[in-house]
A and B are shown apart, each in its own frame.
Chain A
Amino acid sequence: MKTRHLPRSPKVVLGLGITVFFLLLTIFGPYLAPFSPNDTSFAANLAPSWHHWFGTTSLGQDIFSQTLVGARATIVVALVAGLVATALSTLVGVSAGYLGGFTDDGLSLMSNVFLAIPGLPLLIVIDSYLPVGSRSNALIIGLVISLTGWAWGARVLRAQTMSLRNRDFIEASRIIGESRWRIMLTEVAPNLLPVLASSLLFTVLYSVGAYVTLAYIGLTSTSVWNWGTMLFWAQANNAPLSGEWYWFVPPGVCIALVGTGLSLLNFGIDEFINPRLRESGLTARQRRRRGLPRRVRLGLTPVLRPVVAKASGPAATSKAAS
């Protein structure tokens, strides 16, 4: 593959940091929680204190523990939904884009229909038909969410595939006699990885939102802790009106942070796809050191005049701005 550029842009590093943090929380959250989230033995409505970092709910449950434990379900469902939706969109998008003809017409029609149908109402309808027992199953909920989240990615991938289809190396594969499916799998798909990664990130983001919304409305099982359910309980107990900000702010902030982290990571992918967006080989610090303008304007190529030093070797040459 091309030489891996370690992300240098601060945006991307931040995004990566946030995402990794929450992934770790997903794995270790329940172990780190000081109390069980269901434990109602504490005093109710306590503000944040040393003993309860995020305070307690109206039922006397520790909010901090709930937040930590809730991470797992939220993120796992979002990941499952994201992965399944991306897999679906790849299958549909690449096939439509490469095969063309009636296959393309049919698959595009299907994607357009799914795009046009409003996601949330559809989710609510499907969810209400689910047997109550399976509402606690992260996998099932994830699948349901992915049904509404694949269509956009499919369109994007179809467009990308169509532009790839006319590239010379695809024609060369046809010329040597490669079968259509092998071409799609081994020649087209690897070139779509950056777009796929971006699509995955956005789908996961969408799934977090969808899941939290479903939980907030009360359509998921309340026996599984997640941030949406916390918001549900907070709303049900009038937390905003009684000034118990410490109940709904932590889950809200967590959701926002996850979204931010994923979006920032997406910048990194954009920079990877389009090398022009990278900082062009010069970090801000290097620029400042040499007196170069912070932003290179088009039509004004910067000038850097080296001063010849008596020491040997180019590395010893000091540079002064013109």
Chain B
Amino acid sequence: MSTDALERRAPADVVDGAARPPSGPAANERILQIKDFCVDYGVDEGAVRAVDSVDLHLDRSKVLGVAGESGSGKSTLVYGFTRLLRAPALITGGTAFFNVGPASEGGPNEFIDLVTANEATLRRVRWTQISVVIQSALNALNPVVRVGSLFNQVFKAHRREMSRADRRARAIELLEMVGLNQDRLQRFPHELSGGQRQRVMIALALALDPQLVIMDEPTTALDVVTQREILSELAELRARFGFAMIFITHDLSLLVELADEIVVMYAGRLVERAGARALYDAPRHPYTLGLLNSFPPMHGERQELTGIPGAPPDLSDMPGGCAFHPRCPYAMERCTTERPPLARLSEEDRYVACWLHVDGAHAAVPVELRQAAPTTSSGEGGAA
């Protein structure tokens, strides 16, 4: 474990180890603010840092895409701030402020720090405000419980006042919302196809109309056509209910269509953050560029692609400095010793953790990493 990770633990707005929640006029729109978040597996010498000082934020009704490969920490990050990780995971730093709405009518929105929240608070927030759709629906759904009972469990846990008829009616409504026939209520999970199971998971996640829905690779195990259907369904539901979404995946091309903003993670660190279109058309980090080049195109002449040589690093044996430098075609001397901070690019609303883009870099930025970012009406990205 490198020493610089621990020593850099005192960011600017931390007072006595406690960060402050968002405030000001824009605060009501911000539903999630994570700062300096760290997760370790194990303690002392054997500890492996799975998530290293990640900053994230998410506004109401927006979609945040978290992209990365295995070992990138994308799932650990998200399950971490919702306190769903299992032993031997430990949260070793940072804050995760979540907007729980105004305490009184017309007042400012309150934020709670999920990291320090106790069990009662978490139970209040879970599923009513934040819900999770996890990766493998077959594993997530209890095989001996009918689909209808799953809905019952959710309602009984959080909405005791609902009557049996109410619960059933609401369950049918939710199933129709995701395009399933009400006779699915009687079925067991193994009687449904993969896509249908995923739809049930989505319906369950939306049962209590949460503010934030987290999706962990929901379509990875599904076929391309089913994936497309589920994504259209999701887009419709979002338009209807206005929930915010965090979408974790390794498939960057999915995110470009779906997300407003994308963060790219590598070896537990956040390496780039930008608007979706801007990131796709004009990547700034060499890893993002390599990742985008790893998808064979559907059009154009066939030519040999190289992808990214090597393999993602072993988290227990990380290289010094920038985690990506052993595989980076543009690596400089500095990259091997100093870890680049996540810095805002001048004139653009995007962030990169790369020494190439720091003023005074000894090497010129290669042309493929300084493409003009698209000007879009959504205000993401600006002209280079």
Contacts and interface: CB of A to CB of B under 8 A. Distances in A.
B42 A281 contact: yes
Interface string B335-379: 000000000000000000000000000000000000000000000
A305 interface: yes
A21 B157 CA distance: 52
B3 A312 contact: yes
Contact of A302 (B41, B46, B90, B93): B90
A315 B91 CA distance: 18
A122 B119 CA distance: 57
Interface stretch (B78-86, B187-195, B293-301, B313-321): B78-86
B116 A301 contact: no
Interface in A276-309: 280-282, 286, 290, 292, 296-308
A312 to B, nearest CB: 7
B102 to A, nearest CB: 27
Contacts of B6: 306, 308, 314, 317
Interface bracket on A: 20 to 34
Interface in B1-51: 1, 3, 6-7, 9-10, 17, 40-46
B224 interface: no
Nearest to B9: A308
Given A314-B1, A315-B45, A300 B9 contact: no
Contact of B7 (A299, A302, A308): A308
Contacts of B88: 280-282
A282 B43 CA distance: 8
A296 B86 contact: yes
Contacts of A313: 3
A192 to B, nearest CB: 25
A320 to B, nearest CB: 9
A314 B40 CA distance: 13
A306 B87 contact: no
B90 A301 contact: yes
Given A290-B43, A300-B83, A306 B92 contact: yes
B122 interface: yes
A306 B84 contact: no
Interface string B86-121: 111111110000000000000000000001100100
B122 A299 contact: yes
A301 B43 contact: no
A301 B80 contact: yes
A296 B84 contact: no
B153 to A, nearest CB: 15
Contact of B87 (A296, A308, A312, A319): A296
A286 B45 CA distance: 13
A274 interface: no
Nearest to B90: A304
A242 interface: no
Contacts of A306: 6, 9, 92-93
Contacts, number: 71
A110 B369 CA distance: 71
A313 B44 CA distance: 11
A299 B127 CA distance: 13
Contacts of A302: 90-91
A39 B10 CA distance: 80
B36 to A, nearest CB: 11
B87 A282 contact: yes
Residue among B10, B43, B46, B87 with max Cβ neighbours from chain A (10 Å): B87
A22 B91 CA distance: 45
A322 interface: yes
Interface string A177-214: 00000000000000000000000000000000000000
Interface string A254-294: 00000000000000000000000000111000100010100
A299 to B, nearest CB: 6
Contacts of A305: 17, 92-93
B89 A301 contact: yes
A206 to B, nearest CB: 32
Interface in B118-133: 119, 122, 126
A303 B80 CA distance: 10
Contacts of B90: 292, 301-304
Interface string B67-85: 0000000000000100111
B3 A322 contact: no
A308 B86 contact: no
A317 B119 CA distance: 29
A303 B115 contact: yes
Given A299-B84, A301-B91, A305-B93, A315 B44 contact: yes
Contacts of B93: 305-306
A16 B88 CA distance: 26
Contacts of B91: 301-304
B46 A281 contact: yes
Nearest to B126: A299
Contacts of A290: 43
A282 B84 CA distance: 19
A300 B119 contact: yes
Nearest to A296: B87
Contacts of B45: 315
A317 B40 CA distance: 15
B369 to A, nearest CB: 33
B91 to A, nearest CB: 4
A298 B86 contact: yes
A286 B119 CA distance: 23
Contact of B42 (A282, A300, A314, A319): A282
- The 7 A-B residue pairs with the shortest CB-CB distance, nearest first, are A280-B87, A281-B88, A280-B88, A296-B87, A301-B85, A303-B91, A301-B83
20 contacts: A282-B88, A290-B43, A292-B90, A299-B83, A299-B119, A300-B122, A301-B83, A301-B85, A302-B90, A302-B91, A303-B91, A303-B115, A304-B91, A304-B92, A305-B17, A308-B9, A308-B10, A313-B3, A319-B43, A322-B115
Given A281-B87, A299-B122, A303-B90, 19 more contacts: A280-B88, A281-B43, A286-B43, A286-B44, A299-B126, A300-B119, A301-B83, A301-B89, A302-B90, A303-B92, A306-B6, A306-B9, A307-B17, A308-B10, A314-B3, A315-B45, A317-B6, A319-B43, A322-B115
